[in-house]
């Protein structure tokens, strides 16, 4: 029995390690995708005052703190049985839309995008944000940096800090916005829509016009027929901030639609002894291991799965992009993992349109942005769509609002099983007779990156990454061969 | 031509916020890329730890290290980078004082494993499996790093030259520090080792709210009230950490009507942040009756450890030796 | 003899004007109390910074006493009330950390009350003796003992490097 | 740190050496880091011992000194001086109390040695961080403010004025004189109270160095020793002092009679415009606006009509006076215990139960009855009088203290009764307290004169007669502890010897002047034995009963003592301000203002323009409360700074368990 260790995988937000075992014939016998850490927020948050949760859980993930901030704030609303006034809801969703646009931009241009923009075969040393800047030139780079800068700037203006906000409270937010700020938010929002359209066009030009890329996207290597999860509004259109959770089966038929507070009826988490991360799955279907199909409880919660789980998008331009997306890829549902990059850009457009919608809502500057709770707190669940998947916070407190129990199911965790499967599948497809090629390594990575996995969230920790390296070991674990990327 | 100074950025047990903050210096990132030969920066650059291991000791000029030390791999990386770096900077709250994840020291490994893998409401684990550092899979042995009992700061693990406060540090400050380091390498005088690279006063200094003499009859919790936007939040009864927290953020949180939560840590020369908060708040409680004082404190500050040591438990003088009561007093 | 039983170490902060004089008086009057108490003279109980108390615990003290003038009798008019408030705050925090109540004590003793102070000292020593050592520094959990896990990493890398692809 | 520390262990004969192994201790000290010399010596406080220290400082170049001996309260000054003479700043010396806190309180030699080692290593670590300090000299303003015009204040004022220094005397009432002016005779000499007091009063009134401000009160005191600023409110008299000749016609013509509750203790009447008593100083009358017809109805103005110099000013308003003052004497006196609080004695209910003050007025020739001792009806002369001692004194339920004067006053009353009437007089006492010169003799004399004494605390005074002979009398119910039986004795008149208690507003006045009161409310002296006239606040002195119950001679003595203390300071011209004060380091201060209202001496002010707080070193008393409170740790306290105290804690715990409190680990060997 031979083993290949990929330790660790690079350019994901979080640390992962893959061990691939080969049988005597050198074919893949099994692959283990391991997450090496955990921080235990669920445990040490117990004993804290619940209203501190938006600030505490910000620190679960510095990549998407706003997502935790929102999920926590919504959990507090439920906990204290308080209705957020319309202005409060809109302010929250506005800030959240700005965050979504910013985060998707970061991923497409800094993390996932490089594979397409500078190309999968380019030396790894160039497959990074700096490489992208070299390739697309300063003017485009300028657009990207401006988009990120504007996003951060507005988040800081509204919610105190560009990373780790301090804003959400049970019943609303700590402060609203004035007309002056609204104008600025609107103006930058319109720029953002332009940027989103530009990015989609860039994707068409660079990727869709390149047959090799399209084949790669649609090829079997990265396909997984799993359930798809996403949050939808009353009309079954994607919403990031609020709504019902809808799950469709591999054929695109609605499997379940439930209120976030009922998540325990739908989801369960499986534990393996070789990783610190748990594997969520659909309770009704059950845990069948790392396999595709209707009979496996494995599901995805990604930009792609959100589009699959919805009937459309609530803004005009985004709806067009949505239609184009499915037309090009041959109808719903789409299971091509790499298409997630495109789906992400469609969501980027939706987020920017929603941003302007809310920024131009007459109620957005209302001083009535918060309701002070009067009920006795007991239990509450808060769910939002994080960029990397459905995020759920579940709290219980005593009558003083001191936490007695905390449970978190975070974005990337939902996708742990699919990611593991993608890695295994890529390995199976590409490794034969114990032969490993440099191409394999990047292929595996690309499948991996499509999920924009953030194991900071997943493990509530973000340990370091090191460049990927593969060691081919013999039955006794001696190293037969070593391959590393970017040997250039 | 003279070789560019070597820069390494690394993240241990952190949330990635520090990395995002570094990216948030926007176009200046290009200046950094131009000024330094970046030998390690996981989030953005593919570089190899082998190369770092192969380097001669002290051959990295500056290492910005964020994240606390919570498992065996992080401890190794801390030791490695200390050895290879001339200047090791504890970058951000986690490396500096432990930050919010440091509150895990209230619980410890066993409590965390037991809840996360066995008792959590969503977990389905009839055999009560918990992850093992070394696991014999049918195909072979699998390793994951050892999860430690205690979260420690970087300087509780290796010697540190400088500290950068903040969760995360503000982009402006990051750029200023990078420039200072560049100047320092160019021969400009560097501050004495052990210096925290930040302002030496507290957030009130940057807060625009009006302040008066303080007399507090009751501490309020943030959900209980909507404070006005002009007066000192503490005077309105909210436990604002600004008075003890190192300045440098520009009092961002009070600006949006939220009390400071203390993410920049304590002021220069202060050993224990929580002690500063406790003593200053207690001093201005407006009562001389022990029973009333006790009531004011217990009602208004139900979670003193989480309130006063939110960001600094690992660095503080409090030791888990006191955890007889499992970190939950009354 | 004193070897078998646990001898707690207790730090006492004594106000220069009352409790320190009370300690003098206890001595002059030859009132016996156990020598486990080690005192620090401050000008006023209002000088006692909670960080001193935490410092003492973190350096191995098993208990800390803060002694000042009776309420209303402060040499500096009202500063002992600040000491009272800080004691309540500190106690609240230490209890939340799971520390036993008797390890921190606030004691009023006027310059004339040598008997009150020595009685309080003896009582506290017995209470802390019964609780046993606090041992903060000793119990500060060490993460060592995982050297194997730490050293595996460089070995794997080194090993990898020896092999040529 | 490269300090050279000398450690000196005192045997104190066998006081320390008998319990603590001083040789072992000195050896231990010698091995502590920083210590260059370590000696033990029989008596460190002896001149030989002090020379030992001085010599080492000079020969061995010691930069720090630790003395392990007795309590610093005994010999800190001694050893500081020893260091100073050898040229070492006195604040670089630290004492460890090995006697009071070790050898005298324990017998376990092993533990005693442990503790002694701890105390020494604490002192050794601390002393190395101590800093040179210098007291700062400030000038002393020669003006003195005397608050209260009773006999104590009068004495103090005259002493100072006669020495040639300016005095400002503030009196709340329209006239000075205090309680003494109300008395008839004084014990034990029986000379006329007024006769000996009024000359002193008029001296005050006429002295060119004394500015008398009667009918006035101190509103505000700021500043510090030698440099106080005082604001005084002069209440509107309604009479212009410049024009008034004190002829008194206004008083004659005033149609309005008012019961005089103050001077006459409710026994007599005065007019609405009045002067408390004929010899009042100053002579100017006061209009009692609460009772003046003009202020009630807007008419009358009789006084104005008849005033020959048009001195009546109905529209006069309170005026304010700001003074620069070097030192202040508080001689604010006492209130009489309110006998109504003890209802069993019937005062206020039974007409012929009197208080001692009422009785003083009865006896006084200038009083409402021209000195005739009569019952409330104003005519009947009593046949029998009871004097009840300790009313509101020596009584746990009211005042535990002995009021010091009542026993002698009762004897005086006994004498006056027998001198002026045929009445039998009986004293009901617990103990007769007659400790001073000629007091016991006076007691003997009264026994000879036939005064009766019953030993026992009176249980009740009642008019409920049980036997015919009790009809219409006041019956005193008492347990005669000498005969050991209950007795009921009938009297015509009962006099309650009410005790002395602190002024109702003593605490508030204390705060205004920055001094404290004891639990029972008397002003606290700096030292109960060695410094009874000074207070904790430099430049503020106390004299008379406001410091505690005492009689006239003691009050006079204390007034004079306070005055001479002040003369000394004025003569020197400067005072030294203790260098143990707090300082705010501006660069670290964020202006959060936490410290602003923590200082009872108002030493901390907020500099709005700079946005930082500032401490006035001259006002700072060095308690360190603000130092401990500062959230930014921007305040440091000289001689008690954090580093010094932390070092002492470290030293005291030299033998405690030490894990690495999370200190850095050695770097792992590269693979």
User: Which domains occur in chain A, in start order?
Assistant: 2-36+425-484 (no CATH), 46-372+408-414 (1.10.645.10)
Domains annotated for chain D, with CATH where assigned, are 5-127 (3.40.50.960), 144-333+503-570 (3.50.50.60), 336-501 (3.50.50.60), 582-638 (3.30.70.20)
Q: Grade residue D659 by pLDDT with cuts at 50, 70 and 90.
A: low
Q: Are residues B65 and B160 in the same domain?
A: yes
**Contact yes or no for A347/A303 (Cβ under 8 A):** yes
Tell me the mean pLDDT in the region D127-145.
96
State residue D156's pLDDT score. 98
Interchain CB distance below 8 Å, B144 and A276: yes
Chain B partners within 8 Å of C136 (Cβ): 319, 321-322
Chain B residue with CA closest to C134: the answer is B321
Nearest beta carbon to residue C27 from set D100, D519, D669? D100
- Asked if B10 and B124 sit in the same domain, the reply is no
- Nearest by CB to residue B303, choosing from A47, A149, A270, is A47
**Encoding tokens for residue A248?**
């469709």
- Identify which of B257, B190, B194 has the alpha carbon closest to the alpha carbon of residue B230: B257
Predicted confidence (pLDDT) at residue A218 exceeds the cutoff of 90: no
The Cβ of residue B161 has, within 10 Å, a number of other Cβ atoms equal to: 20
pLDDT of amino acid A5: 66
Number of domains forming the structure of chain B: 3
Flag whether B196 is in a domain: no
pTM: 0.84
Region A458-467: mean pLDDT is 30
Q: Are residues B157 and B49 in the same domain?
A: yes
Q: How far is CA A306 from CA A200, A238, A454, C60, D476, in A?
A: 18, 7, 17, 57, 100
Would the pLDDT of A461 be above 70?
no
**C159–A481 C-beta distance less than 8 A:** no
pLDDT bucket at B47, cuts 50 / 70 / 90? low
For residue B289, give the DSSP letter.
-
In a shared domain, residues B62 and B179 = yes
What does residue D577 show for φ and ψ, rounded to 5 degrees? Answer: -95, 125
What is the mean pLDDT of the segment spanning B20-34? Answer: 79
Q: What is the pLDDT of residue A488?
A: 23
Portion 182-241 of B in contact with C at CB < 8 A? none
| Band (A16; pLDDT cuts 50, 70, 90) | low
What is the mean pLDDT of the segment spanning A450-464?
44
Beta strands in chain B (DSSP E): 6-11, 37-40, 60-66, 69-71, 85-91, 123-124, 134-137, 140-143, 147-152, 162-164
Q: What is the pLDDT of residues A75-84, one digit of tens each?
A: 999 999 999 9
**Alpha carbons within 13 A on the beta-carbon side of B288:** 10
CB contacts, 8 Å: D629 with chain B:
279-280, 283
Rg, chain C, Cα only: 23
SS (HEC) of A20-73: EEECCCCCEEEEEEECCCCCCHHHHCCCCEHHHHHHHHHCCCCCCHHHHHHHHH
Residues B249 and B314 in one domain: yes
Reported as a single tens digit per residue, the pLDDT across D33-71 is 999 999 999 999 999 999 999 999 999 999 999 999 999
Contact residues, chain A, for C164 at CB < 8 Å: 482
CB pairs A-C closer than 8 Å: 19
Pick from B220, B327, B263, C86: which is nearest to A48 by CA?
B327
Q: Could you tell me which chain B residue has the CA closest to the CA of C157? A: B50
Residues of chain B contacting A32 with CB distance shorter than 8 Å: 137, 142
Note the pLDDT of residue B19. 84
Mean confidence (pLDDT) of chain D: 94
Measure Cα distances from A109 to B76, B314, D633 in Å.
32, 37, 46
% of chain D at pLDDT higher than 90:
90
- Answer yes or no: do B129 and B210 share one domain: no
| B263 shares a domain with B180 | no
Q: Measured between alpha carbons, how far is residue A412 from residues A106, A248, A279, A346, D499 in Å?
A: 17, 19, 10, 20, 84
Interface of D with C in 44-73 (CB under 8 A): 71-73
Interchain contact, C35 vs D519, CB within 8 Å? no
In a domain, B261, yes or no: yes
Question: What pLDDT is stored for residue A159 in this prediction?
Answer: 95
Cross-chain Cβ contact B82/D632 below 8 Å: no
Positive/negative CA dihedral, D420, D425, D427, D428 = negative
pLDDT in tens, D311-364: 999 999 999 999 999 999 999 999 999 999 999 999 999 999 999 999 999 999
- Residues A438-454: what's their mean pLDDT? 68
**D527 falls in which pLDDT band (50, 70, 90)?**
confident
More confident residue, C160 or B47: B47
Write the pLDDT tens digit of every residue in D579-626. Answer: 999 999 999 999 999 999 999 988 999 999 999 999 998 889 999 999
> Same domain, yes or no, for B60 and B207?
no
- The answer to whether A486 and A442 are in contact (CB under 8 A) is no
Q: Map out the domains of chain C with their CATH numbers.
A: 10-162 (3.40.50)
At B97 the pLDDT is 95
Whose CA is closest to A348, among A195, A135, A182, A152?
A195
- Cβ neighbours for B300, distance < 8 A, ≥ 6 positions apart: B218, B219, B220, B221, B237, B239
Secondary structure element (H or E) that encloses residue D104, with its range:
none
Q: Using CA atoms of D347, D352, D355, D357 in order, give the dihedral in degrees to the nearest 10.
A: 140
Residue B195 belongs to a domain:
no
**Cβ B279–C89 below 8 Å, yes or no?**
yes
Q: B43 with B159, same domain?
A: yes
Q: Does residue B330 fall inside a structural domain?
A: no
Q: Which of residues 288-307 of B touch C (CB under 8 A)?
A: 288, 290, 293-294, 297-298, 301, 303-305
Secondary structure letter of residue A107 according to DSSP = I
D630 and B280 within 8 Å at the Cβ level: the answer is yes
Mean pLDDT of A313-320: 97
What residues of C are in contact with residue B75 (Cβ under 8 Å)?
Answer: 143, 146, 150
Q: How far is CA B5 from the centre of its chain?
A: 27
Query: Within chain D, how many helices (H) and strands (E) appear?
Result: 16, 32
State yes or no: pLDDT of B143 exceeds 50: yes
CA A437, chain centre distance (Å): 29
Mutate to test the interface with B, among C55, C80, C89, C162 (most CBs of B within 10 A): C89
What confidence score (pLDDT) does residue A22 get? 82
Most confident range (mean pLDDT) of A197-206, A400-409, B150-159 is A400-409
- Whether residue B198 is contained in a domain is answered as no
Structure tokens at D457: 């605390």
Nearest CA in chain B to C50: B275
CATH number for the domain that contains residue B30 = 3.40.50.700
Query: Any chain D CB within 8 A of the CB of B288?
Result: no
Select from C34, C58, C40 the least CA-distant residue to C125. C34
Shared-domain flag, residues B40 and B165: yes
- Residue B193 belongs to some domain of the structure: no
Of residues D100, D115, D652, nearest to C28 (C-beta)? D100
The predicted structure's pLDDT at residue C139: 64
pLDDT beyond 60 at A193: yes
- Cβ within 8 Å of C, B 72-111: 72-73, 75-76, 79-80, 108
B265 and B172 part of one domain: no
Which residues in D have their CB inside 8 Å of a CB on B? 587-594, 596-598, 611, 625, 628-634, 661-665, 667-668, 670-671
Q: What would the two tokens of residue B186 be?
A: 């160019």
Percent residues over pLDDT 70 in chain B? 94
Closest-CA distance, A268 to chain C, in angstroms, reads: 32
On whether both B88 and B139 belong to a single domain, the answer is no
Mean pLDDT for chain A overall: 85
E strand map for D11-82? 35-41, 64-69
- Phi and psi dihedrals of B278, rounded to 5? -60, -50
**Boundaries of domain holding B276:** 203-325
Backbone angles phi, psi at D629, to 5 degrees: -90, -20
Which regions of chain C are under pLDDT 70? 1-3, 138-145, 155-165
Domain presence at residue B111: yes
Cα–Cα dist B272/D255, whole Å: 75
């Amino acid at each position: 029995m031979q083993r290949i260790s990929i330790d660790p995988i690079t350019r994901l937000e979080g640390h992962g390690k893959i061990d691939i075992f080969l049988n005597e014939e050198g074919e893949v016998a099994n692959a283990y995708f391991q997450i090496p850490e955990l921080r235990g927020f669920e445990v040490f948050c117990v004993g804290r005052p619940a209203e501190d949760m938006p600030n505490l859980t910000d620190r679960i993930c510095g990549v998407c703190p706003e997502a935790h901030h929102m999920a926590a704030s919504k959990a507090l609303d439920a906990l204290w049985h308080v209705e957020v006034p319309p202005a409060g809801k809109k302010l929250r969703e506005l800030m959240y839309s700005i965050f979504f646009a910013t985060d998707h931009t970061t991923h497409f241009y800094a993390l996932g995008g490089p594979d397409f923009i500078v190309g999968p075969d380019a030396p790894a040393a160039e497959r990074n944000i700096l490489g992208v800047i070299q390739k697309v030139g300063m003017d485009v780079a300028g657009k990207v940096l401006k988009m990120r800068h504007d996003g951060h700037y507005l988040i800081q203006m509204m919610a105190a800090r560009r990373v780790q906000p301090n804003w959400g409270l049970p019943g609303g937010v700590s402060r609203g916005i004035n007309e002056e700020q609204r104008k600025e938010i609107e103006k930058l929002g319109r720029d953002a829509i332009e940027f989103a359209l530009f990015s989609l066009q860039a994707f068409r030009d660079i990727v869709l016009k390149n047959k090799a890329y399209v084949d790669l996207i649609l090829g079997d290597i990265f396909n997984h027929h799993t359930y798809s999860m996403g949050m939808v509004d009353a009309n079954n259109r994607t919403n990031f901030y609020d709504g019902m959770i809808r799950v469709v089966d591999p054929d695109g038929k609605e499997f379940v639609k439930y209120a976030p507070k009922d998540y325990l009826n739908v989801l369960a988490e499986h534990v393996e002894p070789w990783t610190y991360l748990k594997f969520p799955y659909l309770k009704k279907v059950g845990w069948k291991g790392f396999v595709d199909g209707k009979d496996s409880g494995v599901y995805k919660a990604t930009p792609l799965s959100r589009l699959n789980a919805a009937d459309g998008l609530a803004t005009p331009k985004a709806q067009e992009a949505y239609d184009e997306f499915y037309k090009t890829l041959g109808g719903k549902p789409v299971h091509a993992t790499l298409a997630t990059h495109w789906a992400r850009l469609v969501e980027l457009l939706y987020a920017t349109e929603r941003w302007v919608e809310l920024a131009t809502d007459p109620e957005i500057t209302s001083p009535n942005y918060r309701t002070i709770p009067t009920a006795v707190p007991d239990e509450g669940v808060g769910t939002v769509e994080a960029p990397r998947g459905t995020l759920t916070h579940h709290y219980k407190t005593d009558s003083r609002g001191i936490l007695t129990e905390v449970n978190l199911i975070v974005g990337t965790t939902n996708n742990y099983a699919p990611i593991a499967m993608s890695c295994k599948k890529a390995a199976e497809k590409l490794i034969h007779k114990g032969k490993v090629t440099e191409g394999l390594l990047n292929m595996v990575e690309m499948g991996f990156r499509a999920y924009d996995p953030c194991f900071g969230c997943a493990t509530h920790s973000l340990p370091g990454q090191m460049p990927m390296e593969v060691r081919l070991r013999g039955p006794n674990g001696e190293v037969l061969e070593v391959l590393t990327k970017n040997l250039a | 031509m003279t070789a560019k100074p070597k820069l390494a950025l690394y993240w241990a047990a952190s949330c990635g916020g520090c990395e995002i903050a570094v990216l948030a210096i926007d176009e200046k990132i290009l200046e950094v890329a131009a000024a330094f030969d970046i030998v390690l920066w996981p989030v953005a650059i593919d570089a190899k730890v082998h190369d770092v291991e192969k380097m001669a000791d002290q051959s990295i000029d500056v290492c910005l290290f964020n994240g606390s030390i919570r498992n065996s791999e992080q401890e190794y990386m801390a030791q490695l980078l200390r050895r290879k770096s001339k200047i090791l900077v504890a970058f951000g709250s986690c490396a500096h004082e432990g930050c919010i994840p440091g509150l895990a020291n209230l619980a410890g490994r066993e409590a965390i494993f037991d809840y996360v893998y066995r008792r959590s409401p969503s977990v389905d684990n009839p055999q009560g499996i918990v992850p093992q550092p070394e696991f014999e899979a049918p195909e072979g042995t699998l390793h994951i790093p050892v999860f430690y009992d205690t979260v420690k700061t970087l300087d509780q693990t290796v010697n540190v030259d400088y500290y950068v406060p903040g969760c995360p540090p503000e982009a402006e400050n990051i750029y200023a520090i990078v420039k200072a380091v560049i100047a320092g390498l160019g021969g400009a005088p560097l501050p004495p080792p052990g210096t925290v690279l930040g302002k030496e006063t507290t957030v009130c200094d940057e807060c625009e709210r009006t302040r008066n003499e303080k007399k507090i009859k009751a501490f309020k919790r943030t959900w209980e009230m909507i404070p006005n936007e002009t007066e000192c939040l503490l005077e309105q009864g909210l436990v604002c950490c600004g008075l003890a927290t190192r300045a440098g953020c520009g009092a961002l949180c009070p600006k949006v009507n939220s009390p400071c939560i203390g993410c920049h840590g304590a002021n220069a020369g202060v050993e224990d942040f929580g002690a500063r908060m406790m003593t200053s708040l207690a001093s201005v409680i407006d009562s001389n009756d022990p029973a009333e004082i006790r009531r004011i404190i217990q009602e208004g500050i139900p979670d003193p450890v989480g309130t006063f040591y939110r960001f600094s438990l690992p660095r503080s003088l409090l030791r888990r030796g006191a955890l007889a009561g499992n970190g939950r007093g009354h | 003899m004193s070897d078998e039983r646990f001898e707690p170490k207790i730090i006492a902060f004594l106000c220069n004007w009352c409790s320190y004089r009370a300690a003098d008086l206890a001595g002059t009057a030859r009132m016996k109390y156990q020598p486990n108490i080690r005192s620090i003279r401050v000008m006023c109980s209002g000088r006692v910074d909670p960080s001193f108390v935490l410092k003492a615990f973190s350096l191995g003290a098993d208990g800390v006493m803060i002694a000042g003038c009776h309420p209303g009798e402060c040499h500096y008019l009202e500063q002992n009330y600040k000491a009272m408030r800080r004691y309540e705050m500190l106690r609240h925090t230490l209890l939340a950390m799971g520390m036993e109540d008797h390890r921190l004590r606030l004691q009023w003793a006027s310059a004339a009350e040598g008997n009150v102070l020595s009685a309080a000292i003896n009582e506290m020593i017995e209470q802390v003796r019964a609780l046993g050592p606090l041992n903060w520094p000793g119990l500060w959990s060490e993460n060592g003992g995982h050297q194997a896990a730490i050293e595996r990493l460089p070995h794997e890398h080194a090993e990898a490097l020896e092999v040529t692809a | 740190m490269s300090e050279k520390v000398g450690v000196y262990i005192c045997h104190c004969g066998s006081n320390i050496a008998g319990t603590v192994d001083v040789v072992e201790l000195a050896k231990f000290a010698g091995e502590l880091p920083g210590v260059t010399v370590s000696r033990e010596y029989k008596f460190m406080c002896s001149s030989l011992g002090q020379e030992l220290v001085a010599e080492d400082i000079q020969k061995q170049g010691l930069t720090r000194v630790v003395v392990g001996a007795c309590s610093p309260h005994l010999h800190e000054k001694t050893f500081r001086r020893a260091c100073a003479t050898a040229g070492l700043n006195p604040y670089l010396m630290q004492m460890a109390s090995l006697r009071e806190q070790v050898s005298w309180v324990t017998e376990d030699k092993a533990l005693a040695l442990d503790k002694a080692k701890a105390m020494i290593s604490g002192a050794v670590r601390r002393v190395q961080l101590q800093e040179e300090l210098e007291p700062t000299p400030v000038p002393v303003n020669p003006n003195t403010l005397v608050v209260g015009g009773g006999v104590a204040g009068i004495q103090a004022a005259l002493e100072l004025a006669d020495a040639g220094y300016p005095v400002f005397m503030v009196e709340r009432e329209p006239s000075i004189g205090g309680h003494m002016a109300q008395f008839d005779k004084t014990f034990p000499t029986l000379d006329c109270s007024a006769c000996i007091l009024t000359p002193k009063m008029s001296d005050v009134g006429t002295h060119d160095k004394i500015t008398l401000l009667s009918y006035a009160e101190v509103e505000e005191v700021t500043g510090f020793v030698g440099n106080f600023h005082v604001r005084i409110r002069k209440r509107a008299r309604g009479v212009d002092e410049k024009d008034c000749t004190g002829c008194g016609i206004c008083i004659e013509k005033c149609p309005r009679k008012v019961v005089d509750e103050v001077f006459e203790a409710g026994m007599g009447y005065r007019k609405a415009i009045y002067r408390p008593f004929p010899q009042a100083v100053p002579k100017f009358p006061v209009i009692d606006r609460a009772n003046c017809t003009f202020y009630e109805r807007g008419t009358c103005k009789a006084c104005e009509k008849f005033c020959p110099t048009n001195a009546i000013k109905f529209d006069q308003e309170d005026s304010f006076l700001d003074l620069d003052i070097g030192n202040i004497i508080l001689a604010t006196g006492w209130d009489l215990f309110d006998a109504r609080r003890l209802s069993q004695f019937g005062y206020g209910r039974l007409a012929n139960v009197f208080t001692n003050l009422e009785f003083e007025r009865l006896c006084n020739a200038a009083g409402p009855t021209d000195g005739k001792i009569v019952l409330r009806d104003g005519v009947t002369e009593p046949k029998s009088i009871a004097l009840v001692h300790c009313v509101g004194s020596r009584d746990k339920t009211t005042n535990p203290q002995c009021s010091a004067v009542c026993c002698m006053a009762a004897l005086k009353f006994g004498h006056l009764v027998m001198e002026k009437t045929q009445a039998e007089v009986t004293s009901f006492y617990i103990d007769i307290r007659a400790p001073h010169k000629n007091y016991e003799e006076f007691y003997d004399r009264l026994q000879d004169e036939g005064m009766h004494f019953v030993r026992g605390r009176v249980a009740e005074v009642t008019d409920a007669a049980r036997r015919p002979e009790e009809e219409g009398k006041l019956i005193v119910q008492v347990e005669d502890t000498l005969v050991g039986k209950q007795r009921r004795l009938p009297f015509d008149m009962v006099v309650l010897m009410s005790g002395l208690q602190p002024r109702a507003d003593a605490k508030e006045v204390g705060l205004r002047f920055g001094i404290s009161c004891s639990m029972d409310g008397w002003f606290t002296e700096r030292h109960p034995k060695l410094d009874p006239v000074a207070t904790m606040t430099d430049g503020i002195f106390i004299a008379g009963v406001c410091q505690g119950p005492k009689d006239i001679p003691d009050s006079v003595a204390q007034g004079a003592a306070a005055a001479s203390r002040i003369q000394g300071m004025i003569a020197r011209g400067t005072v030294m301000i203790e260098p143990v004060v707090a300082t705010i380091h501006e660069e670290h201060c964020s202006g959060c203002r936490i410290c602003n209202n923590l200082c009872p001496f108002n030493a901390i002010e907020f500099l709005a323009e700079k946005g930082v707080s500032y401490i006035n070193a001259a006002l700072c008393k060095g308690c360190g409360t603000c130092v401990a409170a500062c959230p930014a740790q921007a305040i440091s306290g000289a001689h008690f700074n954090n580093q010094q105290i932390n070092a002492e804690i470290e030293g005291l715990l030299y033998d405690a368990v030490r894990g690495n409190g999370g200190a850095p680990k050695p770097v792992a060997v590269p693979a």
